[in-house]
Chain A
């Protein structure tokens, strides 16, 4: 920085800045004055997991049907607690009519939910239960139960005996805690299933692949592998293929790629509750609440363990799916 430039204003820089502004403004949600449509603010955890993409598409479909606006809030850094907290504050500035909220962390986001509560914005808790705060409803299922059910399925397929390894998710994630809890519970119920190793794959495909390769070296007899999400499960499968080893693998999330792997016989099963359905119901529930229609305090979606016999239900591309009628899911 020298002292000679003084008051010169960088014209070329200004042009660049204007280009940035135009770029940014193109993404602006049309929020015209006098617009009386209700706005639903949907909070999902990241841009990379296909599970959330399906959920968002479903929510948009429901919003279109119900004639409301849907605004998406996704952290720019995947699963960022700090960012989701900031996005809550920023969303409140826009005063959405209601929020549909998937917390990045079940405990750390409680102050965020309380911000919604303080601002008088009704919130539907979707997919992962937050451990505090006031909600219109919780709709989702329990990661613990999903993990336990999927693990039990695997152990039954193994006839209750054999060696297994676990590929864990990211340390520090509340999802991971619950899923590990579920796996461990199922293990307790099958005393002849032996856990050889439990190592982290960080919820990432390449890490899970590398770790599985290493564990295959360490243990000559592995009959079953439990992966804490589909992304990792698919990495596990590649490792098995490359090493010419066979094992029964289960994942969690029910993503399209996993379903295809189940179809192809590479993946034994993937368990979850329907992400598409959750997207629909969460949005519909929020809108119903705004329109003074009854919404149950809790909707626990059934857990499906998708295997080679029943994957057809999940095998429809989300572009072709439609939201069901509220009444067909919620029986009064």
Chain B
């Protein structure tokens, strides 16, 4: 983990040296806001991956939740109902994913990939190519507003990080997730109710996607069926750059935050430096590889020393 932080600092220093606009409080807060959004979408996903699962439906879920939240607010005028609708949609999808993986024994890749398609189908049918837009300022503050100078999503991120940290470190449930991820059979044999824990994990992932959908709605001030499409790969990348292993049993939310910040810095840096957009995927790909290589090398080092 500390190598990740060093890597992050190095990127930050490099950017600060090459662009005057980078190291300003305004830009750094800007970066934090953007990273918080990725973090929110990827937070539940992180825990699912720790449990050796996978949730490919987070982007689609986010988008559908945003659309339902938008419709709820527009038809009732109540902002809280929007939050409820978005969370409800996200949670229900999460529960369905959990049931598919545990009760129906479907492989997570197929269950959540299939869910992705079904969610988009519902979303396209529901939105009919239109958008739902124009929300009150109090609502938009959730995504684009500040509180005491700090962007609101950053507070949400901090709460999520804190809650997640307490959860994984100090609750039995948290320990159980890591055990399940490390070796599901051993976990089952030691009495952990694997199925219900997994269902809860996927439900969490869905709920966080729903919450993220509401925040994105607030930020964009508009809902359209395609909101979630560009958000899946960055969410997964943030989790992986952060060091959480797809095989389960290791990693965590702190890593995802670092991953989210790294990804955000890449785009921020390229925009600030005015680098031709065609280079963006290349730079992102290289950063992903570098992060993984650092991880791999430091792990080998630790193994040799141990």
A and B touch in the complex (CB under 8 A): yes
Enumerate chain A interface residues (CB-CB to B < 8 A): 47-50, 52-53, 56, 78, 168, 171, 197-200, 202, 204-207, 209-211, 213-215, 217-219, 231, 234-235, 238, 241-242, 255-257, 260
Query: Which of A200, A207, A211, A238 is in CB contact (< 8 Å) with B221?
Result: A238
**What's the least CB distance linking A183 to chain B, in Å?**
14
Cα separation A48 to B271 with both chains bound (whole Å): 27
* Closest residue on chain B to residue A264 by CB atoms: B134
Residues of A within 8 A of B220 (CB): 205-206, 209, 234-235, 238
Cα separation A241 to B146 with both chains bound (whole Å): 13
Residues of A within 8 A of B129 (CB): 47-50, 52-53, 56
**What's the least CB distance linking A209 to chain B, in Å?**
7
**What's the least CB distance linking B281 to chain A, in Å?**
9
Cα separation A311 to B30 with both chains bound (whole Å): 34
Residues of B within 8 A of A210 (CB): 34, 267
Query: Which of B124, B131, B219 is in CB contact (< 8 Å) with A47?
Result: B124
> With an 8 A cutoff between CB atoms, is B26 at the interface?
yes
Residues of B within 8 A of A241 (CB): 144
Tally of B interface residues using CB under 8 Å: 39
Cα separation A213 to B231 with both chains bound (whole Å): 17
Query: Which of A204, A209, A211, A214 is in CB contact (< 8 Å) with B226?
Result: A204
Q: Would A214 and B216 be within 8 Å (CB), given that A50-B129, A53-B128 are in contact? A: no
Cα separation A218 to B274 with both chains bound (whole Å): 9
Q: Determine whether the beta carbon of A214 is less than 8 Å from that of B30.
A: yes
Query: Which of B133, B134, B227, B272 is in CB contact (< 8 Å) with A206?
Result: B227
> With an 8 A cutoff between CB atoms, is B246 at the interface?
no
Residues of B within 8 A of A209 (CB): 219-220
Q: Determine whether the beta carbon of B226 is less than 8 Å from that of A78.
A: yes
Q: Determine whether the beta carbon of A48 is less than 8 Å from that of B124.
A: yes
Q: Determine whether the beta carbon of B24 is less than 8 Å from that of A171.
A: no
User: 1/0 contact trace for B261-277 toward A, CB 8 Å?
Assistant: 00000011011101001
Query: Which of B24, B145, B231, B271 is in CB contact (< 8 Å) with A197?
Result: B271
Q: Please name 4 further chain A to chain B contacts, defined as beta carbons within 8 Å, in addition to the given A49-B129, A78-B229, A213-B33, sorted by A numbering.
A: A56-B129, A204-B229, A219-B21, A242-B145
User: 1/0 contact trace for B121-138 toward A, CB 8 Å?
Assistant: 000100111110110000
Q: Determine whether the beta carbon of A214 is less than 8 Å from that of B272.
A: yes
Query: Which of B21, B219, B227, B277 is in CB contact (< 8 Å) with A218?
Result: B21
